[in-house]
Amino acid sequence: MQKLIVESKFNNKKLSIFLYAHFNGLTSSTLHKALRKKDIRINDVRINEDQIVHEFDTITIYILDEFLYKNINLEKIYEDENILVINKPAELEVVSNSNEETATTILQKEYSYIKPCHRLDRNTTGLVLYAKDPETLEILSEKFKTKEIKKNYICTVIGKMPKKEELLKAYLFKDTKKSLVYISDVPKKGYQEILTKYNVISEDQKNKTSKLDVELITGRTHQIRAHLAHIGHPIVGDGKYGINEINKKLNFKYQQLKNYKIQFLFTSPAGKLEYLNNKIIKTSL
């Protein structure tokens, strides 16, 4: 049995949309079978059809976990006694407030203590750094705050960039209710400064796209996706900040954005993690 509370973004949406978003292994045939057998309840009332749900509705489903979740094997890129770095696939959250399976819940089945030191969007792929004990988590969290850990992303964007390399500066506002961010070129109340640096790796003349190496100087929600879209070069496949017509034409269902490199560049004491200084962890492009 699974019990979920409907979030605001699914208000007035179909039950099926809500369930597919929370269970990566749920198929339409399994869902329809459960509806026929009245194995799904909304606010404790059995239902037999795909209904509209509303915010704060309680959804109870009686479907075995094996039919709800895909069996995901996370690729481990690096591991020692203190840290773990995995290569996260798309369609998987690092953490979640719902009951859905995440990269972290998968790892918790194997490790007595495992905590992510940063996050990636659901459909952003690549490296996620985990701490294997509280002391390590505290050290690495501080290193991220003081920008002594550097992350590089590779992405494919629409169009030709105006410069081969550039440090972009803007201001970002996070709308939590809409799960969106907004970018401004000038300071505004409630907006935080963002810095995004890119280098052009290659250009595809046929598809009119560019491949970039992007470094996050600041790390805000959806920063790379929204910042590049703001300057007219959204990431290919991005359904939220991109251009759906081009995404469909190029046949990409999620954003072509990957965190491919993590560098430890300590400028202050790192305690038991001092051995990581100047270490680079990479995954394939």
Model pLDDT, residue 230: 97
Choosing from 65, 121, 175, 185, which is the catalytic residue? 121
Model pLDDT, residue 263: 97
For residues 104 and 94, is the Cβ–Cβ distance under 8 A? yes
Q: Is the pLDDT of residue 61 over 90?
A: yes
Model pLDDT, residue 89: 93
Is 50 a catalytic site residue?
A: no
Residue 270 — very low, low, confident or very high, per pLDDT cuts 50/70/90? very high
Q: Is the dihedral of CA 264, 270, 273, 274 positive or negative?
A: positive
Q: Is 146 exposed, middle or buried (0-12, 13-18, 19+ CB in 10 A)?
A: exposed
Closest CA to 52 of 5, 13, 10, 6: 13
Question: What residues pair up with 157 in beta bridges, in sequence order?
Answer: 210, 235
More confident residue, 24 or 275: 275
Model pLDDT, residue 196: 97
Residue 66 — very low, low, confident or very high, per pLDDT cuts 50/70/90? confident
Residue 240 — very low, low, confident or very high, per pLDDT cuts 50/70/90? very high
Write down how long the chain is: 285
What's the mean per-residue pLDDT of the chain? Answer: 94
- The one-letter amino acid at 17: I
Report all structural domains of the chain as residue ranges with CATH numbers, in order of start.
2-67 (3.10.290.10), 75-145 (3.30.70.580), 152-259 (3.30.2350.10)
Q: Is the pLDDT of residue 51 over 90?
A: yes
Q: What is the pLDDT of residues 101-149, one digit of tens each?
A: 899 999 999 999 999 999 999 999 999 999 999 999 999 999 999 999 9
User: What is the reported pTM?
Assistant: 0.80
Closest CA to 67 of 102, 105, 107, 101: 101
- The one-letter amino acid at 217: I
Model pLDDT, residue 118: 96
**Side-chain-facing half-sphere of 86: CA atoms under 13 Å:** 26
Q: Is the pLDDT of residue 100 over 80?
A: no
Q: Output the six-digit token pair for 265.
A: 């560049």
Question: What residues pair up with 59 in beta bridges, in sequence order?
Answer: 4, 42
Question: What residues pair up with 46 in beta bridges, in sequence order?
Answer: 41
